[in-house]
Amino acid sequence: MNAFKLSLRDQTDLVGFLRDLIQMPSPSTQEKAVGERIAAEMKRLDFRNVTIDRIGNVIGWIGPGKGPVLMFNGHMDTVRVSDPEAWSRKPLGAEIVDGVLYGLGACDMKGGLAAMIYGAKLLRDSGMDLMGDLVVACVVQEEPCEGLGSRVLIEEEGIRPDWVVLGEPSGLDVVRGQRGRIEMRLITHGRSAHSACPALGENAIYTAARLLFGLELLAEQLGNDAFLGPGSLAVTDISSSASSRNAVPARCELIIDRRLTLGENETKAIAEIQRVIAREGVRAEVEVTEYQATSYSGYPCHNREFYPAWVMAEDHPLVLSAVQAVREELKHRPRVGRWEFSTEGVYTAGVAGIPTVGFGPGDPRHAHTADEHVRLDDVHAAAEVYARLASQLLGTEHPSH
């Protein structure tokens, strides 16, 4: 079987496009410039029906306009640079050193986005007759609210794929699942008093401290799964409110990041916290937080911060097809594993039940780090694997070249 190979011209164009994406800042809700650049590239490469939807996702199509639909899915937004001094290169510089491209989003996940778009081009250029469509979906706001962009695509825009491939960094291995997560707010209540007479009040911070000890113990007793591993719990923020700094606070608030393995759900996670509260006999309550934002397109975003775990069976046809595509293009058998972080798969697989796998360039350990980078050879290889996988799912004959 002939391999899909990027021409030298395509490699040059892909790198230039990827550098443009990195040089354009795209923090969540501010993806407009990157979205417009992606739409322009899709049109230049002759994608059809290139559109920007109501929330700001960018969508482009390859194929006959009928039959099954394969979606390549990746996000356009990045985290912000928390500590510029920690970078040895400019975060938006898109510098290339010894075949490695440095910059914010290079690994997570503009390298994957560029590879997906050029993988779609490779598929079209092959001249293969396709029995279905490939849609490349570049979504918004994945970093703070994974699954939101995909939900709008599927539920509101009416794009219902038969398969989804996520281009998050996987080290060119195949991913078949991830833990879910729920973000909770734990609020403790006290009674305000002048801090010169603290015994007259009830300090909500002290109440929270008692619960913190219980949460630390709970974190060692969570569920476990042979594939996804254990659930986890971390308190990630604490704040209090009082009339002044000379007053005993009557309210304290904790934010809890709870990662959910298989067998754990929202009801179980909340009940565990409620048992800690009941055991301490304090005035407190726990609730799921709500994500709220306005997209760059003006779309109002609301989402309860619960994101389910998902796993595809190791012998699922889509997983087997992804493994086969890597073997045929890269001449080795990839590992089949899981992501530690959360992705759009929480919606596509976890809610919508659409067969989903992950595959992308870049080492996941480099995401959200100083000097984030991706190897350009891996970006090229990913594009070729994407084309091969799409040909297996949508093609009626092998390419002639």
Catalytic site residue from 77, 146, 225, 378: 77
Bridge partners for 254 per DSSP: 186, 238
DSSP string spanning 26-57?
A: -BTT--HHHHHHHHHHHHHTT-EEEEE-TTS-
- Tell me the one-letter amino acid at 60: G
Helix (H, G, I), strand (E, B) or coil at 327: helix
SS3 content of the chain, % helix, strand, coil (to 5): 35, 25, 40
Distance of alpha carbon 160 from alpha carbon 355, whole angstroms: 12
Catalytic site residue from 31, 125, 133, 142: 142
142 among known catalytic residues: yes
Distance of alpha carbon 232 from alpha carbon 225, whole angstroms: 12
- Under 8 Å CB-to-CB from 183, ≥6 apart: which residues? 255, 256, 257, 258, 288, 289, 305
290 among known catalytic residues: no
Compute CA distances 313 → 100, 174, 177, 316, 386, whole Å: 34, 12, 9, 5, 21
Helix (H, G, I), strand (E, B) or coil at 242: coil
Four-point Cα dihedral 289, 294, 300, 301, nearest 10: -40
172: left (phi over 0), alpha (psi -120 to 50) or beta: left
Residues annotated as catalytic (active site), given as ranges: 77, 142
